[in-house]
Amino acid sequence: MGNGLEKLEKLPRVILAHTPTPIEHLPNLSVKIGGAALYVKRDDCTGLALGGNKARQLEYYVGDALSQDADTILITGAVQSNFVRAAAAAARYGLTCHIQLEERVKSADALYRNSGNVLLNQLLGATIHSYPDGEDESGADLRLHEIADVLRAQGCRPYVIPLAPGHPPLGALGYVVAAQEIVSQLTAMDQAVSEIVVASGSGLTHAGLLFGLRMLGSSIRVLGICVRRDSGTQALRIRARCREISELLEVQSRVTDADINLRDDFLAPGYGQLNSPTREAIKLGARHEALLLDPVYTGKAFAGCLQRAQELDSQDTLLFVHTGGTPGIFAYGAQLLEGQ
């Protein structure tokens, strides 16, 4: 097996993200929280349709779609899924986009269903489909393929971006590349980092980042904050994702079970549902660093990051990966301001 970089460079890819995104110090919160110094990797600044980690993930999916002469992209996710960036990527390359929205948040109100990413879907001209089950990834993928079959019969050339594990994790490759970017930036800054903290949901960002760091020989610890499932279940998913990346890049994985670190302290009451620590973390980020975090992913992950900072001392440094999700803020307006 090679070192993985040769295969990575040969895979089809388009450039969607504005990179490198900056790494910034968070001096005010570092003082207020105490413990480890806090830095943030600003992947909310990747540019494509309000930024976020999906821009990096979609570069390899869209590249693969274009290499197959596809004219239509299909993707599935929650009602406020940030994979709406697929519609923006499609618009950029003259493709049609079909987005399937899954019912993951049962108590969703009208604001949740009409603003934020849903509004972007409509502005970007995507065709919207609904899927009634929010915890059936395989079923949601199957439904996408059924829609693709209908489109194919109409003369379209559809390309399905899968959600469930068991498929080549092209989206994770965006964060294998991001790992190289982070290591290069930290070297240029002469800044050591004790740990990197990131939201862990589909597993593509978390696994790609961890795999990329270990592939480069970096031993920086990665802590995933669970936003969709408990830590035990998520650990199995990250392990599987890393195995899939290894197979895709034809390189031996250097990720061990000890490298897969997860916490689910801020998951309850479930995916896409706010809790008090997350609401407080969002307010702290906004009011002390003008850092805007979303309720589904980055708010919960930042709550975990602040918790971890307090467990460490001033000799340590934490790097928080801000994966975006900014449009989702507007879908949770009333809940975010609750109690004010």
Separation of alpha carbons 119 and 79, rounded Å: 11
| Residue-level pLDDT at 276 | 96
Indicate the CATH number of 56-161 among 2.60.40.10, 3.20.10.10, 3.40.50.1450, 3.40.50.1100. 3.40.50.1100
3-state SS class at 5: helix
DSSP 245: H
Separation of alpha carbons 203 and 103, rounded Å: 20
Residue 81 annotated among the catalytic residues of the structure? yes
What is the DSSP code string of 116-171?
Answer: THHHHHHHTTPEEEEES-SS-HHHHHHHHHHHHHHHHHTT--EEEE--SSSS--HH
* Percent of the chain scoring above 70 in pLDDT: 99
Q: Which amino acid is at 146?
A: E
What is the DSSP code string of 314-327?
Answer: TT-EEEEEE---GG
| Residue-level pLDDT at 100 | 97
With both helix axes pointing from N to C terminus, report the angle between 276-289 and 298-311 in degrees, rounded to the nearest 10. 80
Span 273-325, pLDDT tens digits: 999 999 999 999 999 999 999 999 999 999 999 999 999 999 999 999 999 99
Domain boundaries, the chain: 5-52+168-336, 56-161
Q: Which of 30, 81, 115, 246 is catalytic?
A: 81
Span 76-89, pLDDT tens digits: 999 999 988 999 99
Does residue 155 surpass a pLDDT of 60?
Answer: yes
Average pLDDT of the chain is 96
Angle made by CA atoms 185, 188, 189, in degrees to the nearest 5:
85
Span 160-176, pLDDT tens digits: 999 999 999 999 999 99
Residues 303/329/102/151 CA torsion (nearest 10 deg):
-130
Does residue 246 surpass a pLDDT of 50?
Answer: yes
Average pLDDT over residues 183-197: 98
Does residue 109 surpass a pLDDT of 90?
Answer: no
Give helix then strand counts, H and E, for the chain: 13, 10
- C-alpha distances (whole Å) from 248 to each of 164, 168, 172, 186, 245 are 16, 6, 10, 27, 5
Q: Which residue has tokens 């923006």?
A: 88
* Percent of the chain scoring above 90 in pLDDT: 93
Task: Give me 264's structure tokens.
Answer: 């689910």
Separation of alpha carbons 289 and 151, rounded Å: 47
| Residue-level pLDDT at 2 | 61
Average pLDDT over residues 110-139: 94
First to last CA, the chain: 57
Does residue 334 surpass a pLDDT of 90?
Answer: no
Maximal CA-CA distance, the chain: 62
Beta bridge partners, 261, equal: 223
Length in residues, the chain: 340
- C-alpha distances (whole Å) from 340 to each of 98, 107, 291, 337 are 39, 22, 19, 6
- C-alpha distances (whole Å) from 164 to each of 89, 100, 136, 214 are 21, 14, 9, 24
Separation of alpha carbons 43 and 38, rounded Å: 16
Beta bridge partners, 74, equal: 98, 160
Does residue 49 surpass a pLDDT of 60?
Answer: yes
Angle made by CA atoms 281, 81, 141, in degrees to the nearest 5:
135
Does residue 65 surpass a pLDDT of 90?
Answer: yes
User: With a threshold of 0.85, does the pTM exceed it?
Assistant: yes
Span 8-24, pLDDT tens digits: 999 999 999 999 999 99
Residue in 230, 104, 266 with CA at minimum distance from that of residue 117:
104
| Residue-level pLDDT at 1 | 46
Say which CATH topology domain 5-52+168-336 has: Rossmann fold (3.40.50)
DSSP 283: H
